[in-house]
Structure 1
Amino acid sequence: MRWTDILDIAMALDEAHPDVDVAHIRFTDLHRWVVELPAFADDPEKSSERALEAIQMAWLAERE
């Protein structure tokens, strides 16, 4: 997975962190969780606030 794989990342995070209140997560935690995903293979430094926000919104939608 790469930073642009928003939906795949959101689904993987939902499986890895089912008890997280997605609406109230810190981007620092979100960044760490994305980078820790086994299938994640992108440069951790290439993230942006925009990418993290998109991942959070997709994760919220995945929960609904």
Structure 2
Amino acid sequence: MKKEISTTLMVLLISFIGFVFSLIQMYSNQDGNSYPLNASLIYLGTSIFVFTFLLTLKKDILKQ
């Protein structure tokens, strides 16, 4: 039970951080410019990381 909760919280935290960084690149970058390509790459990278993490976790669960 604790493992599922910690996994869920970690996935949510990583997704939230990726979402916030992509929003920062889009709207409130320090130099005043907008970087939509960087924002989309950050969001894509976060999504790919979470997807591979969940696939690895699923493989580990199926082995047990």
Shorter-normalised TM range: 0.3 to 0.5
Higher relative contact order (CA 8 A, sep 6+): 1
- Structure whose CA Rg is larger: 2
TM-score normalised according to structure 1 size: 0.34
Higher helix share: 2
